[in-house]
Structure 1
Amino acid sequence: MEIYKEFSFDSAHFLPNVPEGHKCKNMHGHTYKLKVFIQGKPDEHYGWIMDFKELKDAIAPIIDTLDHKLINDVPGLQNPTAENITIWIWNTLKPVLPKLSRIELYETPTTGVIYSGE
């Protein structure tokens, strides 16, 4: 069984490694949507896999790091493609959320990345 919680943040970035003339080489912004999935069995006493408040608290430092920031300035994200941002989020979350099963990061409502730590 999996539970999930959605978050959003607004950030600017530019992609330094794309060819000259590519529109993403210029600074631009997105309203990102992040879905974080936790896998497990419901606790017999509490009846939940994880308290949603604990999940929110675990994600808060990541949102604080990215929200209303230039993502290129975040250590480890100098080439902040959606894929690299997703991997960075995963690597930041996995030590504090061992039951993390996947994350989905939407750069736009129709474009995103699904990552399971592979």
Structure 2
Amino acid sequence: MIISKQFIFDAAHFLPNVPDGHKCKNIHGHTYHLTVLIDGPLQENLGWVIDYGDLKKAIAPVIEQVDHQLLNNIPGLENPTSEMLVVWIWQQIKPVLPLLKRLELYETPTSGVIYEG
């Protein structure tokens, strides 16, 4: 069974490796939407795969690191494209959520990335 929970955070970034004149070379911000998908067996005695509260607690330290921050200042995110950001988030979450199946990260309502490790 796959369950999901969505998280929202705001952060700024700039893309240092794009050509001069590209609009993303300048600092700008996004309201990111992160969906975390967990794949695991239904624990029939509890009636769930994982407690959503436990899922929220596992993700909270990662969200705290990026919310209202300049992503370029976070070690490992010096070039914080959506693709690099979702890989970084995966690396933070996977050790504490071994049932992690997939991350979906949207930087705008129409632009995002899906990562499955």
Deviation at 1:98, TM superposition (A): 0.2
* CA shift digits 1:64-113 (9 cap, x unpaired): 00000000001100000000000000011000000000000001000000
CA RMSD of aligned residues (A): 0.4
Structure 1 regions of 5+ residues with no counterpart?
none
User: What pairs up with 1:47-86 in 2 under 5 angstroms?
Assistant: 47-86=47-86
Alpha-carbon separation, structure 2, partners of 1:69 and 1:91: 19
Counterpart of 1:45?
Answer: 45
* CA shift digits 1:44-77 (9 cap, x unpaired): 2101000000000000011100000000001100
Superposition TM-score, scaled by structure 2 size: 0.99
Structure 2 regions of 5+ residues with no counterpart?
none
* 4+ runs deviating over 2 angstroms: none
Counterpart of 1:116?
Answer: 116
Alpha-carbon separation, structure 2, partners of 1:48 and 1:42: 5
Superposition TM-score, scaled by structure 1 size: 0.98
Alpha-carbon separation, structure 1, partners of 2:42 and 2:33: 26
Alpha-carbon separation, structure 2, partners of 1:93 and 1:111: 22
Instruction: Count matched residues.
Output: 117
Counterpart of 2:17?
Answer: 17
Alpha-carbon separation, structure 2, partners of 1:114 and 1:6: 14
Structure 2 counterpart of 1:81, one-letter code = T
Deviation at 1:41, TM superposition (A): 1.2
Alpha-carbon separation, structure 1, partners of 2:40 and 2:9: 27
